[in-house]
Structure 1
Amino acid sequence: MDIAVPRRSNRLPGVTMAGFRQRLPAPVDIAMVAHPMVTVLIDLSEGEGIVSESHGRRERGSVVIGLMPGELRAGGRVGECLQIRLEPDVAAAVLDASPDLNGTMAPLADVWGRDAERFEDRLRATASWDERFGIAAEVVGRRIHARTPVAPEVAHSWRRTLTSRGRIPVDSLADEVGWDRKRLWSRFRSQLGISPKRAMRLVRFDNAAHLLAAGHPAAGVAAECGYADQSHLNREVKAFTGHTPSAVAVAPWLAIDDVAWPASSGRAHERSA
């Protein structure tokens, strides 16, 4: 699989992108591991294209997937897709009707509006990933700036959830923004589609999953991520994925994260995995 990542000039706050090109003799199924971003998957392939499955729902072509995705299948001998990950507060501004962030999936046109087809056509008109990333940054950036953002208190609470790796108490978040717990819970849930507590659990799980994929033992991961014990970690991993920590540690989706979603700008512009 060939993976391309954008240059720094095409990066937006709360938005990450990666391009994928695969040459396969037959379709393949890849289990997506839950992560704290809304996924916009734009199908640029020919022929069968991409089939996405989540909680028994099946869609072909470009889709938007919430925070609890199901199975992703890329079909055909040559397949290309652009994946855009949006933090929930950004997704709330970019999408016309944000999907339930607890896991539903919708065709791109349903949540992007009438510009979805034009956006896809512009991306397909060029084979250059640099140009595709530039187009995506332009379109997403324009939507961000043209729309009403979530409340500053909600955006701050989301950022603190991320920076604390899901370990800050909800009461502390409420105190930081000057709201009571009930108001924070209500506004956070209505604007981001997920409760503060579930967001905490998801961010903590995401941190744990990447540590497991990096080869850290489950007992150590449980302690580092703030779980009560290894059994607590096991239950959370099972709840989010249906699998054990050892199975999540070797998930193909996590294996490419270091390439597709580099933590620093110093990574190579395009590499193969």
Structure 2
Amino acid sequence: MRSAAPVRLAAPAWDIAVPVRPSRLAGVTMAGFSDRATSLVDVEVVPHPGVMVVFDLGDRALVVADGKGREQRGCVVAGLAPDRARGQGPAGSFSCLQVRLSPVVARAVLGAAPELSGVVLSLDDLWGADAVRIQERLRAARSWEERFTLVDVALARRHDEGRAVDPEVAFCWGQMMASRGRTRVDGLAAEVGWSRKRLWSRFRSQIGVAPKRAAQLIRFDAAAHRLAAGQAAAVAAVDSGYADQSHLHRDVLTFTGVTPATVASAPFLAVDDVAWPDRH
């Protein structure tokens, strides 16, 4: 296990652990979090181009809520661009293992792509008794590396048993990620030999969002990390492919409901370079 130095934010001080080896599945990254703070943990999720699975390992329940007041505990799944999702946990006992899945992988591992988009669900609803079993094994594990291995094996097994996305859809997602959301979607349809209507339909049903929305989310993610790194909003907008600063401002409001300045100081982004160094 490669254990990172604590990351000290405005409220909590996180201890972060990451696996020594990458996942056997491309598009899967993991990190373990422990909180040594004396106050309530309260972190708003900044949307990113991935599906998030959280395994709660703390003494008392971690609660993940969406913007509609619905709450989930234990093993939680947040789909692409969840609506105002936030995690809360009691002081001094917060611990979780977080997995980020490319939606291309999430299709086989979790299934139900359209139902996952924008919402927060219990993993029990998707995996049934398997979710309970892996939660018990993770709590019994003696190290982060053992936990990472347990999750990786479970994901790989379900991936092999699941239904993969079309190669054309996977290609289009990969091109969007490589270009940081700047690739023209109509050009992708022509490149894979599909009509625009067919790409829209297959992409939406297998990834969970329409291609244009996916590109918007990927571009927002790139800009959000530039803001968190200290870039001025005008510079981050240009470098991320936005027409101007007001265009970036609109996307930030769409995905988070707050201003670029607020996103720049978000604790959820402050840990990314440590927990997800290979996110792109």
Cα distance change of structure 1 residues 97 and 185 upon mapping to structure 2, 3 Å threshold: closer
Please say if residues 51 and 75 of structure 1, whose CA atoms lie closer than 8 Å, have aligned partners that are also in contact.
no
1:43 aligns with 2:56: yes
1:263 Cα offset (Å): 2.4
> Separation in 1 of the partners of 2:278 and 2:179?
17
1:106 aligns with 2:118: no
- 2:66 aligned partner: 54
Which TM-score applies when normalising by structure 1?
Answer: 0.92
Q: Which moved more, 1:242-251 or 1:101-110?
A: 101-110
Which TM-score applies when normalising by structure 2?
Answer: 0.90
Which whole-Å deviations, capped at 9, do the CAs of 1:31-59 have from their partners, x for residues lacking one?
11000010001111122x20111122112
Q: Which moved more, 1:53-62 or 1:36-45?
A: 53-62
Cα distance change of structure 1 residues 10 and 157 upon mapping to structure 2, 3 Å threshold: closer
Which whole-Å deviations, capped at 9, do the CAs of 1:132-189 have from their partners, x for residues lacking one?
1111111111111222211111111111111111011111110111101000000000
Please say if residues 28 and 74 of structure 1, whose CA atoms lie closer than 8 Å, have aligned partners that are also in contact.
yes
- 2:159 aligned partner: 144
- Structure 2 gaps of 5+ residues are 1-13
- 1:2 aligned partner: 15
1:127 Cα offset (Å): 2.7
- 2:194 aligned partner: 179
- 1:261 aligned partner: 276
Please say if residues 24 and 156 of structure 2, whose CA atoms lie closer than 8 Å, have aligned partners that are also in contact.
no
Cα distance change of structure 1 residues 8 and 197 upon mapping to structure 2, 3 Å threshold: same
Please say if residues 76 and 121 of structure 2, whose CA atoms lie closer than 8 Å, have aligned partners that are also in contact.
yes
Please say if residues 89 and 155 of structure 1, whose CA atoms lie closer than 8 Å, have aligned partners that are also in contact.
yes
Q: Which moved more, 1:18-27 or 1:31-40?
A: 18-27
Query: What does 1:119-130 align with in structure 2 at a 5 Å threshold?
Result: 119-130=134-145
Q: CA RMSD, aligned part only?
A: 1.5
1:261 Cα offset (Å): 0.6
Query: What does 1:1-273 align with in structure 2 at a 5 Å threshold?
Result: 1-47=14-60, 49-55=61-67, 56-69=69-82, 70-98=85-113, 100-263=115-278
- Structure 1 gaps of 5+ residues are 265-273
What secondary structure, in the 3-state scheme, does the structure 2 residue paired with 1:149 have?
A: coil
What secondary structure, in the 3-state scheme, does the structure 2 residue paired with 1:17 have?
A: strand
What secondary structure, in the 3-state scheme, does the structure 2 residue paired with 1:2 have?
A: strand
Cα distance change of structure 1 residues 99 and 21 upon mapping to structure 2, 3 Å threshold: farther
1:9 Cα offset (Å): 5.0
Please say if residues 80 and 208 of structure 2, whose CA atoms lie closer than 8 Å, have aligned partners that are also in contact.
no
> Separation in 1 of the partners of 2:214 and 2:115?
13
Cα distance change of structure 1 residues 9 and 38 upon mapping to structure 2, 3 Å threshold: closer
> Separation in 2 of the partners of 1:191 and 1:97?
8
The residue type equivalent to 1:52 in the other structure is V
Q: Which moved more, 1:243-252 or 1:4-13?
A: 4-13
What secondary structure, in the 3-state scheme, does the structure 1 residue paired with 2:94 have?
A: strand
Identity of paired residues, percent?
A: 54
What secondary structure, in the 3-state scheme, does the structure 1 residue paired with 2:107 have?
A: helix
The residue type equivalent to 2:159 in the other structure is I
1:99 Cα offset (Å): 6.0
> Separation in 2 of the partners of 1:162 and 1:101?
20
